[in-house]
């Protein structure tokens, strides 16, 4: 009996150590790898911009996995400060930055520029999405322009509610006329049975030849 108890204790310790290592991997190592991958994406994006100066406004869908823009949300601090926006929303893409839903509008275009990002582990750019407020600004930088969006409404929905990324989520008119942005992520933070959604609308567009816009949290 004593041998059995000692053996059971050793098994429990081993299982505990494995669980501890797994938690450490999820909390720290995936974030380290994501930060390294995001930095590489940012470097590639800026390199592409330099190789094609004065490019026209971005309207064509990039190939999956290609980074094409940088996003800054002042309310979220360093979590979303010149974060790469990459074509696609599969797990490999979201491990490197913010993913763009294929087929949704490109930055500044009529329709819905819809993006997704992790809220926990793998870089977790949207971990503090619950702190965003109506009126907060989202800045998107492309090769030639700065776009400023102002957040207007939020909602928590089931994952099956794909209408949230439609060109006009709240309008039955089949022809979109607004220039929207949609931020999506998992909810609660450590689960994925809901989606936290923020919508905003384009309020400013600035040619990069005029410099960087003054970035404010809210306005």
Going from the first residue of the chain to its last (219 residues), give the mean pLDDT of each consecutive group of 10, the final group possibly shorter.
51 43 51 86 92 73 96 94 96 95 97 94 87 97 96 96 94 80 92 93 95 93
Active-site position among 100, 118, 119, 122: 118
Determine the longest span between alpha carbons in the chain, in angstroms: 79
Strands (E), 31-77: 67-72
Identify whether 195 is a catalytic site residue.
yes
Residue-wise pLDDT tens digits, 39-94:
999 999 999 998 766 667 778 899 999 999 999 999 999 889 999 999 999 999 99
pLDDT at res. 22:
39
Identify whether 122 is a catalytic site residue.
no
pLDDT at res. 18:
42
pLDDT at res. 28:
60
Please list, residue by residue across 182-213, b when 16 or more beta carbons sit within 10 angstroms of its beta carbon and e when fewer do.
bbbbbbebeeeeebbbbbbebeeeeebeeeeb
Identify whether 186 is a catalytic site residue.
yes
Active-site position among 75, 100, 137, 195: 195
pLDDT at res. 58:
79
The third-level CATH classification (topology) of the domain covering 2-210 is Sortase; Chain: A; (2.40.260)
pLDDT at res. 33:
83
Active-site position among 100, 127, 137, 186: 186
Written as six digits, the tokens of 52 are 């094609």
Tell me phi and psi for residue 199, to 5 degrees: -115, 145
* Distance from C-alpha of 38 to C-alpha of 43, rounded to nearest angstrom: 9
pLDDT at res. 122:
65
DSSP character string of 124-180: -TTTTGGG--TTBEEEEE-SSEEEEEEEEEEEEE-TT-GGGGSSSTT---SS--SEE
Tell me phi and psi for residue 79, to 5 degrees: -60, -40
């Amino acid at each position: 009996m004593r041998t059995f108890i000692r053996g059971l204790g050793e098994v429990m310790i081993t299982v505990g150590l494995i669980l501890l290592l797994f938690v450490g991997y999820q909390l720290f190592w995936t974030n380290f790898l994501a930060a390294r991958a995001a930095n590489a994406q940012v470097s590639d994006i800026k390199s592409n911009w330099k190789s094609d100066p004065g490019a026209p406004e971005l309207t064509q869908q990039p190939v999956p996995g290609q980074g094409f823009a940088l996003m800054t949300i002042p309310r979220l601090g360093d979590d979303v400060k010149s974060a790469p926006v990459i074509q696609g929303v599969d797990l490999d893409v979201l491990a490197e930055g913010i993913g763009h839903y294929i087929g949704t509008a490109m930055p500044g275009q009529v329709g819905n520029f819809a993006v997704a990002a992790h809220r926990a582990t793998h870089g977790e750019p949207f971990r503090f999405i619950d702190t965003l407020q109506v009126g907060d600004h989202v800045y998107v930088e492309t090769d030639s322009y700065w776009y400023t969006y102002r957040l207007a409404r939020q909602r928590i929905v089931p994952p099956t509610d794909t209408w949230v990324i439609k060109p006009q989520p709240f309008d039955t008119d089949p022809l979109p006329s607004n220039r929207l942005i949609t931020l999506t992520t998992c909810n609660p933070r450590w689960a994925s049975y809901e989606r936290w959604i923020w919508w905003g609308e384009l309020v400013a567009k600035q040619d990069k030849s005029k410099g960087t816009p003054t970035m404010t949290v809210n306005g």
